[in-house]
């Protein structure tokens, strides 16, 4: 089983620890993982801003880097969803199609493909789980509060395997944090207000960390937390699942 590790651009540049944790976790679970060195971005920033046409270069580069893997795994629900829904390559449409079919978000891969039943992880802290929208409503990583359907959560299932952790959910269990890609700058006021409100509910639960499957959401929440001088930290779920504290 050949796995290609897809590390989204902002994780590569600003949160390398998330990439390291993802890689180590997958290797611990016995996977053969490689990191294609010329990868950049999924193209979502342009596409979500209405410039899908400009993301062709990104698409082509992505296909070049990730062609031929059995699975492609990334520690980001949002970027994975974008690839799944929008990756196209006019020169190699079959490769693009194959990639769309085998790209997985990390927790989804752990639960659905590896069928992980236990983890050698320990994280003795109070952790609030932020449910990132694209992973949840797009990739169905968790049940959605709007639907009449049984409850489940793939990230939640994995966190429950971590020793010493105390997981809580905010009152509005799956409301958006307000990051939204370029929304976070073009609609700055609403974006920040949404983030503050998410943080408020985690604060009510007296959490020490906020975690989730998307670093983008966490980066936005971290920016607000640090500005507020809050003691609450953000941490990607891969870092918890890979921790030995």
Q: Is 92 in the site for another protein (CB under 8 A)?
A: no
Is residue 48 near another protein by the rule CB under 8 A?
yes
Q: Which is nearer to another protein, 33 or 165 (CB)?
A: 33
User: Residue from 133, 142, 159, 238 that binds another protein (CB under 8 A)?
Assistant: 133
140 binds another protein (CB under 8 A): no
Least separation in angstroms between residue 161's CB and another protein is 25
Extract the tokens encoding 179. 């990051």
Task: Compute the distance between CA of residue 189 and CA of residue 235 in angstroms, rounded to an integer.
Answer: 24
By the rule CB under 8 A, 90 interacts with another protein: no
- Selected from 1, 16, 32, 164, the binder of another protein by CB under 8 A is 16
DSSP type of residue 150: -
Query: How many residues can be counted in the chain?
Result: 245
H/E element, 72: strand 71-74
Q: Which stretch binds another protein (CB under 8 A): 39-47, 107-115, 119-127, 161-169?
A: 39-47
CB under 8 A: which stretch of 111-119, 120-128, 174-182, 203-211 binds another protein? 174-182
DSSP letter for each residue of 106-134: HHHIIIIIS-------B--SEEEEP--HI
How many Cα atoms within 13 Å fall on the side-chain side of residue 90? 4
């Amino acid at each position: 089983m050949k796995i290609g590790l897809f590390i989204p651009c902002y994780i590569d540049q600003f949160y390398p620890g998330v990439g390291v944790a993802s890689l180590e976790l997958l290797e611990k679970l016995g996977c053969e993982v490689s990191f294609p060195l010329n990868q950049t971005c999924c193209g979502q920033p342009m596409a979500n801003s209405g410039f899908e046409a400009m993301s062709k270069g990104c698409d082509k580069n992505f296909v070049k880097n990730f062609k031929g893997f059995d699975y492609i795994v990334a520690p980001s629900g949002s970027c994975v969803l974008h690839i799944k829904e929008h990756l196209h390559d006019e020169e190699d449409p079959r490769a693009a199609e194959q990639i769309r079919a085998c790209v997985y978000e990390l927790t989804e891969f752990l639960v659905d493909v590896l069928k992980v039943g236990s983890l050698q992880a320990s994280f003795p802290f109070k952790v609030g789980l932020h449910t990132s929208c694209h992973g949840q409503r797009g990739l169905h990583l968790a049940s959605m509060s709007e639907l009449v359907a049984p409850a489940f959560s793939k990230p939640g299932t994995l966190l429950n395997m971590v020793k010493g952790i105390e997981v809580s959910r905010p009152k509005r269990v799956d409301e958006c944090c307000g990051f939204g890609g370029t929304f976070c700058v073009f609609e700055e006021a609403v974006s920040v207000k949404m983030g503050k409100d998410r943080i408020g509910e985690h604060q009510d639960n007296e959490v020490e960390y906020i975690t989730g499957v998307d670093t983008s959401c966490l980066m936005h929440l971290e920016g607000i937390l640090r500005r507020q001088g809050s003691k609450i930290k953000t941490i990607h779920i891969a870092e918890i699942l890979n921790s030995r504290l």
